[in-house]
Amino acid sequence: MQNEKLITVTNIIILITVIMYIIQINMPNGSLYLGLNMFFLEGLWYQPLSTMFAHGGVGHILMNMFVLFQFGNMIEKYRGVKALLVLYFIGGIITSLLSFYFMQAIGMNNNLVGASGAICVLLGYVALIDTYQRKGIITWILIISVAPVLIGLPVAWYAHLIGLAVGFVMGKFFK
């Protein structure tokens, strides 16, 4: 049996995300300061990054960290730490900014929180390089983007789709 590493960069990102979530829920207006919203335009320049560590609840963070654990560790193992870090953080920030500007363009003034956009970058990357998984990944992202909206849950579906596209485009540079 192969011995898998417990300490990976992905698992460190997960730990930091959990710590940041604990900080977020214990500080006054934590999600407003750490999420991505109109305060970004007023000088909170760190929000496109910090939004990836803020979450809307325990279920939200658990689901995101579960998917990050699976796909982050896979990319880290097969493509390396550098690819993971560039995809997750650069792709995540690009996805955050594009999602924010999409919200502005359609007149939406929401507070964007969660790692979903950055995780969808990873999924977009995997969908590009692994054609066997492509249809399943795209279908899964469409389901997690549309189904919650249909039942009235506040999901940033656009961040999922933008992240998928960003990951696909970034994958062209890593392929």
Residues labelled as active-site residues: 116, 160
Q: Which residue has the tokens 């992202």?
A: 141
**Residues 6 or more apart whose Cβ sits within 8 Å of residue 46:** none
Q: Tell which residue, 49, 57, 56, has the closest CA to residue 13.
A: 49
